[in-house]
Amino acid sequence: MTNLVIDLNNLFFRSLYITGGYGPRSYSFDSQSEIDQLMRKVSTDITYLIRKTNPSRVIFGLDSSSWRKKIKIEENEGYKGQREKSERLNWDNIFATLTEFSEILKESGFIVSHIDQAEADDILCLWRDELLFNKNQHVIIVSADEDVRQLVAFYPYETGKKAFSVVFNPFTYGKQKNRKLYIPKYFQSWIDEEEEVDIFNTHIDVDKQDFVRLRNNEQVLFEQTEGNLIALRKLFCGDDGDNVPAFYTWINDKGKEVRVTNSIFLKIKEELRLDDVEDLNDPKKLDQLRMLLGRLSNTHINFDVGLRLQRQAKLVYLSRSMFPIEIVEEFDKTKDEYFAQSHIHPQNWNMNSLLEGTKYIKIQGKPSSGTEASIFKEMDKISKHLF
């Protein structure tokens, strides 16, 4: 069984950018016409993904205000504190549209998972763990966010059987024409294995065939990724996009500020024999790390390395063990309710079927009053050009 787990905020704002464009003629989303276009565009993008990945279950993760913003960062103004909203955009309308769209998804029978203080990335992580490790089912996580790639993994749940978690970035950039599927070790050999076939097709792995079709027919490039190293690298090198500082910054003998770079990280990883963030739980590693940092920077380390590690891990590491207990308990309390609810068969959905009965499509052949949505009736037919 394959589950499609989508970062709804990430896709929504990508669709918003494509719809609104940029420059002097870009949208502000003040008008109903522009809001209609956004609603139809995100619906087109979502249903396109569902049709192309052919999942058995679709789950959406929805952002809340992040618990990480409460973590004190001495070096700057805090987690994502550098981000500013464009004053040109009508954010009230944009967020109202996102809320309305999430309600449409719920009413259509999809799972929309939202937990107070949890980011969508946190929710995707919790669902990945539940589906991959507890249910032994495949997971396709959809997001353009590099951080989410740390959730790429495989799980050998029986002799000769594995379940996989992969990350699909459905967006292309510049001259890059291929979308990317980030895969773990053993995934490529798994889909390349020849299967026994009989006249009744009882041995055919339909999930595997969906992945093969995605690779062969949909211009998707498979890229093997070591998910466990992504968070480890960010822990030491930081993440400017989220305003996470490097693990250590110092002034060199030329008076220039220097930070832990990727090359320094690789030296730390090699000398301390680190494979993932969990390796840093070894108390012996703390003294080794302190001495190594001092040698690499030619400085005296005057901060608590253990506390710094804890702070960095909370800021960058997607792990159930890092999340506040309230978030984990809320997920565990509600997951069974989601599994118990009746599910739809979403494979053949399109923009019109998702928005059926709303003001954003024609009703019984007549345009909905008060909108210009009918102008965009051809959008779903050209969705393959929108990615």
Q: How far is CA 119 from CA 69, 80, 278, in A?
A: 11, 12, 22
Q: In this structure, how many other beta carbons lie within 10 angstroms of the beta carbon of residue 24?
A: 5
Single pTM value for the model: 0.87
pLDDT digits (tens, 9 = 90+) for 212-268: 888 887 678 899 999 889 999 999 999 988 889 999 999 888 889 999 999 999 999
pLDDT at 382: 39
| pLDDT the model gives residue 176 | 67
pLDDT digits (tens, 9 = 90+) for 290-328: 999 999 999 989 889 999 999 999 999 999 999 999 999
3-state secondary structure the chain: CEEEEEEHHHHHHHHHHHHHCCCCCCCCCCCHHHHHHHHHHHHHHHHHHHHHHCCCEEEEEECCCCHHHHCCCCCCCCCCCCCCCCCCCCHHHHHHHHHHHHHHHHHCCCEEEECCCCCHHHHHHHHHHHHHHHCCCEEEEECCCHHHHHHCEEEEEECCEEEEEEEEECCCCCCCCCEEEEECCCHHHHHHCCCCCCCCCCCCCHHHHHHHHHHHHCCEEEEECCHHHHHHHHHHHCEHHHCECCCCEEECCCCCEEECCHHHHHHHHHHHCCCCHHHHHCHHHHHHHHHHHHHHHCCCCCCCHHHHHHHHHHHHCCCCCCCCHHHHHHHHHHHHHHHHCCCCCCCCCCHHHHCCCCCCCCECCECCCCCCHHHHCCHHHHHHHCC
User: What are the pLDDT digits (tens) for 97-132?
Assistant: 999 999 999 988 899 999 999 999 999 999 999 999
* Average pLDDT over every residue of 173-182: 78
Q: CB–CB of 215/260 below 8 Å?
A: no
Q: For the chain, which domains are there?
A: 2-225+324-385 (3.40.50.1010), 228-316 (no CATH)
Check residue 314 and give its pLDDT: 95
The closest alpha carbon to 71, from 315, 238, 364, belongs to: 315
The predicted-structure confidence for 58-83, as pLDDT tens digits, reads as follows 999 999 999 999 999 888 888 887 76
Per-residue pLDDT at 371 exceeds 50: no
Burial label, 84 (beta-carbon count in 10 A; 0-12, 13-18, 19+)? exposed
Contacting residues for 349 by C-beta, under 8 A, at least 6 apart: 47, 50, 51
Quote the percentage of the chain above a pLDDT of 70.
86
User: pLDDT per residue over 338-369, tens digit each?
Assistant: 887 766 666 677 888 888 888 887 544 444 44
- For the chain, the distance separating the N- and C-terminal CA atoms, rounded to the nearest angstrom, is 26
Mean pLDDT, the chain, whole residue set: 85
